[in-house]
């Protein structure tokens, strides 16, 4: 098979054009690769590293974080259980136990844990003496009878309301149970 001169010339022109297009593509890809490498150096902390190496380091770091998270989760569970047993709800209700006494010097204080277990302490102040009472509380209730003020203190503690004092209109009206 013989090729004439026109066919050879046409193949030479097509080959040269194809080579020129390929050269342009190579230069474009080389410039793009430079941009990618600069971005990679910035992303990987100032050094040019292989992406697989970076992924391996990240996998190790994630594994370490998962172990640390497991330890922290166990510690948080311990702390939650301890908090359930510790006194974490406290409220004080102040009141006048007797009509002739002012100043809201009597009080009932509830000291409870998360489950409502604890105690309520009441001090009834009179002119010449003060009587104090402590009653065990289990799940917000007691085997002893509770006064309205003690119930109010327990309710305030369990709902995390702040300590209260009677408004001026209530002074002298409350009586101890």
Are 75 and 113 in a shared domain?
A: no
Let me know if residue 21 belongs to a domain. Answer: yes
Let me know if residue 57 belongs to a domain. Answer: yes
Start-end of H helices in 44-129:
51-85
Let me know if residue 100 belongs to a domain. Answer: yes
Radius of gyration of the chain (CA): 41
Are 72 and 117 in a shared domain?
A: no
Are 131 and 160 in a shared domain?
A: yes
Let me know if residue 26 belongs to a domain. Answer: yes
Torsion angle of C-alpha atoms 142, 145, 147, 152, degrees rounded to 10: 20
Into how many domains does the chain fold? 3
User: How far apart (Å, rounded) are the C-alpha atoms in residues 24 and 37?
Assistant: 20
Are 102 and 124 in a shared domain?
A: yes
Structural domain including 72 reads 50-85
Q: What is the pTM of this model?
A: 0.50
Are 71 and 131 in a shared domain?
A: no
Query: 3-state class of 102 per DSSP?
Result: coil
- Residue 25 CB contacts under 8 Å (≥ 6 apart), including other chains: none
**H or E segment and range at residue 149:** helix 148-158
Are 93 and 163 in a shared domain?
A: yes
pLDDT on residue 169: 47
**H or E segment and range at residue 36:** helix 5-43
pLDDT tens digits, the chain, 177 residues: what are they? 788 999 999 999 999 999 999 999 999 999 999 998 888 888 877 777 778 888 898 999 999 999 999 999 999 999 888 877 788 889 999 998 887 777 788 999 999 988 889 999 999 988 888 899 999 999 988 999 999 999 999 999 999 876 665 555 444 444 444
Let me know if residue 176 belongs to a domain. Answer: no
CA dihedral (133, 137, 140, 142) positive or negative: negative
Are 111 and 133 in a shared domain?
A: yes
Are 123 and 165 in a shared domain?
A: yes
Are 131 and 144 in a shared domain?
A: yes
């Amino acid at each position: 098979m013989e090729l004439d001169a026109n066919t050879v010339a046409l193949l030479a022109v097509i080959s040269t054009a194809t080579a020129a297009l390929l050269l342009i593509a190579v230069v474009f890809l080389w410039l793009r690769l430079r941009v990618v490498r600069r971005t990679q150096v910035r992303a990987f902390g100032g050094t040019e590293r292989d992406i697989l190496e970076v992924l391996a380091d990240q996998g190790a770091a994630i594994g370490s974080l998962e172990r640390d998270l497991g330890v922290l989760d166990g510690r948080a569970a311990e702390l939650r259980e301890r908090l359930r047993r510790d006194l974490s709800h406290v409220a004080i209700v102040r009141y006048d136990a007797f009509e002739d006494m002012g100043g809201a010097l009597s009080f009932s204080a509830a000291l409870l844990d998360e489950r409502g277990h604890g105690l309520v302490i009441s001090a009834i102040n009179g002119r010449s003496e003060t009587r104090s009472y402590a009653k065990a509380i289990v799940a917000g209730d007691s085997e002893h009878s509770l006064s309205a003020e003690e119930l109010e203190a327990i309710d305030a503690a369990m709902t995390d309301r702040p300590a209260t004092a009677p408004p001026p209109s209530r002074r002298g009206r409350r009586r101890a149970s």
